[in-house]
Structure formats: structure tokens, C-alpha cells
Amino acid sequence: MRYLFFLQLLVSSILLSAQKFDGLAKTPPMGWNSWNKFACNVDEKLIRETADAMASNGMKEAGYEYIVIDDCWQVSRDENGDIVCDPERFPSGMKALADYIHSKGLKFGLYSCAGSKTCEGRPGGRGHEYQDAKMYASWGVDYLKYDFCNTDAQKAEGAYKTMRDALYAAKRPVVFSICEWGSTEPWTWAKNVGHLWRTTSDIMNCWDCKVNWGGMGWTLVMDKNAELGRYAGPGGWNDPDMLQAGNGVLTDVESRSHFTLWSMMAAPLITGNDIRSLTPAIKEILTNKEIIALNQDTLGKQGYRWWTLDGNIELWLKPLSNGDIALCFFNRSSVAASIDFDWKRYFSNLDGKTYNVTGQTRIRDLWLKKELGTTNKNLKATIPAHDVLTIRLGQ
């Protein structure tokens, strides 16, 4: 009897520890990450100033929450094996930084790696998972991005489960961001492991460039991520990587399209630019609440490419929780294109049953922030090269 009792206890404690924190990412996480703009050039001044900026420039109000330090904050392990942050770049330590970020009403995230070393050769988490998770909890970490460099023969699924269990055992709720670049199809196994999982190699700061190790521009990342919509939903999101909007290469129009498509795909909105100095155009893009509302919609459906219209215009559709529908006409070509969109043709003669769209459905342009009438007549517009026309259809 006694053995049975202990066996039950053991089994239930194993089951209890084998889980992620629920309810932390019912909608896609929103925040900022240092990597795309600053790479290894991170220090506490930058992070504090970034938190100040997010709290005061309209981003926090628009829903951004996490400030995440990517690779290179860590330099070594001490004699106990505890992870040590760079004392020159972070002289006040991570606890003080987390406290500061929390005092702004924001949340704090860090980066580590499942392998023995991070991608930049800093100490990784392998063999120290429980020790690191405890340290993160004591610092006040709310979000962990976990990479997959220098992993030798480690299996991704097992490695991420170990870290998930370590975080859970440390008892501080942490959003767990899986970053193995889609190499083992995490969308098939990660739903109960992490809250988001990268689906591709790194996003580059360009429209459609490619580099030999796999990095690529945002439109190519989008194409890969677009195939995986059925795996995403509340609590577990496809992550097509951090935004490059506002990073100086994409035009404002391209940044706007990038931000819109990430919103349509229910992608985590993790900005990757210097938010301490936003141009008015980029600020308007990153804080457009009506676009963000598509991303944060509680139905949690990843939008999908629905049609390709003449002239290289992709038409994307995202169903929303109140029955509204978001549509994005994306002109991927390098010349302006016109649409003369006959609602009857695409919405089953406006029968109101197949789709919640009739002749009286109202159309709102989410970038012009303006009503465009109803679906009782064709939608005519010219969409500049690389631009989007993004509308919400509702009663």
C-alpha cells in the first residue's frame, strides 16, 4: 500500500512538472528584442532607455509589454556554475534591471540557448537548465528565448522539454520562446512545450534577400510561415521572427506591409529596431491600434493567403472573434497595381451565410482609419508597389 502511495505521488509530481505555464500567451506576445538592431552591443543603459521609450512613446499603451535582451548579456559561469552577466555592460546586475523594467509596468525577457554555448559563443544552458531557471526566477525574468546552437547530438524536442520543466519547477511564470528555426518542425510538438516557436531561419533586414546560411528577407520568411497556420492558436504561436520594420533598409511602405502581414499572421509582434528614436512614420506603423487589434484578436486564427489577384496582388484573410473579417490586399510587385474588387464574386454572391458578408457589410480602411462605404459596390483602389490596402469588414 505504502509503495503504491509513493508511486502515485511520484507519477503525479512528474505529470505536474511536465507542463508549460498556461494562460501567458492567449494572444501573440508583443514587445522588443535587442538582436536585429544591436546584436551583441547590449548594455543596461540601452535596456533602461528602451524601457523608458516603450513606456512613454505610445507602444506600451498599444499593447507592447516585453523587453528582451538577446545574446551576449552573459560572459561566464562562476565556481558554482551560476550564470554570470557581463559586469562591465550590466554593472547593476540583472535583478536591478528587471526591477527597473517592472517599475515601468513592463516585463523582462532574456535569451539563452539549449546547447553548451549560445550562437555567439557565450555559456549556454546545457546541463544547467534547473540552475539557470532558478536564477532567472530570482532575477524576475518573465520571458525566455531559447536558441539551438552548439547542440551536438541533442534532440530539440527533449532539450526544450527539459528547459520547460526547469522553468515550471522554478515557479515563476515565463513565456517560453522556442528558437530552433523550424528545423525539427516544432509546430508538430511544441504546443505543450512553449508559447511560440520560430518557423524559419533568421529574418534579414531586407525585402527578399537571401544569405547562404539560410537567413532571408521578410517576404520569404512570410511565405514559409504562411503554410503553417493550422498549428497556431491561443497559447502557441508560429513565430516568423522579430520585426525589421524601422531598421533603416525597408522603406516606410515596406515596413508597413511587413507589420501588417505579421499582424495578419497572428505572429508575435516583437519589434527589433531602436525604439528610442522612432520616426513619426514608424511610430504610426508600430502603434496602429486597429492593425494590432487584428493581431491580438482572441479567436487567434492565423490569417492566410486567400487569392492571388491579377497584377501580383495577394489577398490575405483573417477571421476575427466578433464575426468581422480582416482583408489585406498586398501588392508584392514593384509597380503600382489597381483593383476593381467585386464582392459578389469572392463572397458567394453576398449570401451572408458562407461568409458573414452581405451587400450591407461596412468596410473600414485600417491605415487611412476611414470608412470606405459598403460591399454593395466594387472596391476600386490603386495600391502602390510593395504596399498594402488593409480593411476590416463588419456589420
Q: What CA–CA distance (Å, rounded) separates 257 from 240?
A: 15
Please report whether residue 314 would count as binding ligand GLA according to CB under 6 A.
no
Shortest distance, position 194 Cβ to ligand GLA, whole Å: 14
Q: How far is the CB of 221 from ligand GLA (least distance, A)?
A: 12
Report residue 107: phi and psi, to 5°.
-120, 160
d(CA 44, CA 227): 39
CB of 111 or CB of 143, closer to ligand GLA: 111
Active-site hit among 71, 132, 165, 202:
202
Give the contact letters, 283-302, x = binds to ligand GLA (CB under 6 A), - = no. --------------------
Establish whether 202 is a catalytic residue. Answer: yes
Q: Which residue is nearest to ligand GLA (CB)?
A: 119
Under the criterion CB under 6 A, does residue 66 sit at the interface with ligand GLA? no
CB 237, CB 195: distance < 8 Å? yes
Is 147 known to be catalytic?
A: yes
Closer Cβ to ligand GLA, 143 or 355, answer by number: 143
Which residues are bridge partners to 394 per DSSP?
362
For ligand GLA, give the closer residue by CB, 33 or 57: 33
> Residue 202 Cβ, how far from ligand GLA at the closest point, in Å?
5
Give the nearer residue to ligand GLA in terms of CB position, either 181 or 259: 181
The one catalytic residue in 132, 142, 147, 241 is 147
- Quick one: 147 or 324, whose CB is closer to ligand GLA? 147
- From residue 100 to residue 129, the character string flagging contacts with ligand GLA as x (rule: CB under 6 A) and all else as - is -----------x------xxx---------
User: Which DSSP string do the residues of 27-82 spell out, in sequence order?
Assistant: S--EEEESHHHHTT---HHHHHHHHHHHHHSSHHHHT--EEEE-TTSEEEE-TT--
CA contacts within 13 A on the Cβ side of 55:
15
Q: d(Cα 30, Cα 286) in Å, to the nearest integer? A: 11
Cα 358 from Cα 342, distance rounded (Å):
12
Q: Which is nearer to ligand GLA, 168 or 181 (CB)?
A: 181
Q: Does 147 bind ligand GLA (CB under 6 A)?
A: yes
Per CB under 6 A, 65 contacts ligand GLA = no
Beta strands in the chain (DSSP E): 30-33, 66-69, 74-77, 83-85, 107-113, 143-147, 175-178, 196-198, 237-239, 269-271, 304-309, 313-319, 325-331, 337-341, 362-365, 370-374, 379-383, 388-394
Amino acid at 313: I
Window 166-225: residues binding ligand GLA (CB under 6 A): 179, 181, 202
Q: Letter for the amino acid at 15?
A: L
Q: Which residues are annotated as catalytic? A: 147, 202
The site for ligand GLA (CB under 6 A) is made up of: 35, 70-71, 111, 118-120, 147, 179, 181, 202
